Amino acid sequence: EPPLTVRSLSEAIGRPAKQILGILFKRGEMLTINSLLHEETALELSLELGVDLKIVKPKDVEDELQEYIDLPDDPSVLENRPPIITILGHVDHGKTTLVDKLRSANVAASEHGGITQHIAAYQVTKNGQKLTFVDTPGHAAFGEMRARGANVTDIVVLVVAANDGVMPQTVECIAHAKAAGVPLVVALNKVDLPDRNEQRVLQELAAQNVLAAEWGGDTEVVRTSGLTGEGLDELLETLLLTAELNEFKANSQRPATGACLEAFRDEGRGPLAWLIVQKGTLRRGDVVLCGQAYGKVRSIFNEHQQELDEAPPSTPVMLAGLDIVPAPGDKFVVLDDLDLAREIAERRRMAGRQVSLSSRGGKRTLEDILNA
Ligand code: GTP
Ligand code: MG
């Protein structure tokens, strides 16, 4: 960014510097040709000289990146992609059991033994179509990801235990789904229990403005049991139907963008990040910038620890090759230049450090700064 001086103003508006200095002198300001000018002063001076000056600031690299991520695709290149589904619900209503059942029905027998790492997301195939499930640790994380601008969910499955009904966190989950503007499918769960009360639950849902389709509303309610597996096929079919109605599409032909679901450091493999590809196709060898981390993609794995050559939209992958561990909710983008990725990542780290220093307040010692 060139500094705004008497000289650069003179060059920009095509008037002699002497003339500008003259006006300033009359105002009682003794400046030289190299003196810095305030933007406002420069605008006033130009006005006085009858020139319409516009001060154009170079676009922030972060804005440019966001623009690149948001770049709309030609509708003709869009293809269907699997829906990305998040399961939310009150504590103990059976989310984990349901998810485990959905997965175990689908996990290939050849899954690499021994490695039982936490899976942040996985895909299920039904009728030859894929569905992607994101395993967020709860509605708080869901809200936080959204607050950070990482909107990865297309459909929310709200798990409500048929014996317990709508509970405080159920209400919060409904609010989150509504704020995200995504369709909601209810899994009326634990229907194997004798003390279930389905009509009461439907009523409690209606009181939260979630009206079941069977009551004339537009929310599909599927009876499920994570214990017996009842209703899981129907749940998947309902989700596929919901996806069909909403037409989730993406361009797979562009460099990949998406978000980090979670990340950790592995002793042998270094930083590992669970990413979900939202647009484009991620490939081995790509240069990835993810939050403050960057690097060349060394390998990408699916949830079965199988190595992939490429990952199209809606694929969750575990990526090795970043230099540090990114944060959940960090967006990632593929760039064509490793130096650029490094530069942006380093700038972000500097900015992050300044924020943490200035937010600490009070007096800082040298030690504070070195340890920041
Ligand atoms: P948090 O992760 O703590 O929020 O709980 P959760 O929603 O993941 O519930 P989880 O799957 O851990 O199940 C809680 C309890 O309910 C466990 O004891 C399960 O065995 C039981 N449970 C889950 N699903 C069913 C079901 O469909 N029927 C019955 N009878 N019990 C279930
Ligand atoms: Mg759980």
Confidence of residue 355 (pLDDT cuts 50, 70, 90): low
- Mean pLDDT of the 267-284 span: 95
Lowest mean pLDDT among 11-20, 72-81, 107-116: 107-116
What percentage of the chain has pLDDT greater than the value 70? 88
The secondary structure of residue 97, as a DSSP letter, is H
237 lines ligand 1 (CB under 6 A): no
The string of pLDDT tens digits covering residues 106-154 is 554 444 444 445 678 899 999 999 999 987 666 677 777 777 767 889 9
- At 120, which helix (H) or strand (E)? none
95 lines ligand 1 (CB under 6 A): yes
Q: Does the annotation place 130 within a ligand binding site?
A: no
Q: Report pLDDT for 41.
A: 92
DSSP string for residues in 224-243: --TTT-TTHHHHHHHHHHHH
Pairing assessment for the beta strands 331-335 and 316-322 based on DSSP bridges: unpaired
Q: Report pLDDT for 143.
A: 74
Q: Report pLDDT for 141.
A: 74
13 lines ligand 1 (CB under 6 A): no
Confidence of residue 100 (pLDDT cuts 50, 70, 90): confident
Report the residue among 96, 97, 198 best suited for mutation to probe ligand 1: largest number of ligand atoms under 8 A from its CB.
97
- Mean pLDDT of the 346-367 span: 60
Q: Report pLDDT for 300.
A: 96
**ipTM > 0.90, yes or no:** yes
183 lines ligand 1 (CB under 6 A): no
Lowest mean pLDDT among 10-24, 100-114, 178-192: 100-114
Whether residue 258 is predicted with pLDDT greater than 60 in this model: the reply is yes
Q: Does the annotation place 50 within a ligand binding site?
A: no
CA–centroid distance, 167 to ligand 2, in Å, is 16
Tell the residue number behind the tokens 């209703």, with chain if given.
Answer: 231
Q: Report pLDDT for 112.
A: 47
DSSP string for residues in 6-55: HHHHHHHHT--HHHHHHHHHHTT----TT-B--HHHHHHHHHHTT-----
Lowest mean pLDDT among 25-39, 182-196, 314-328: 25-39
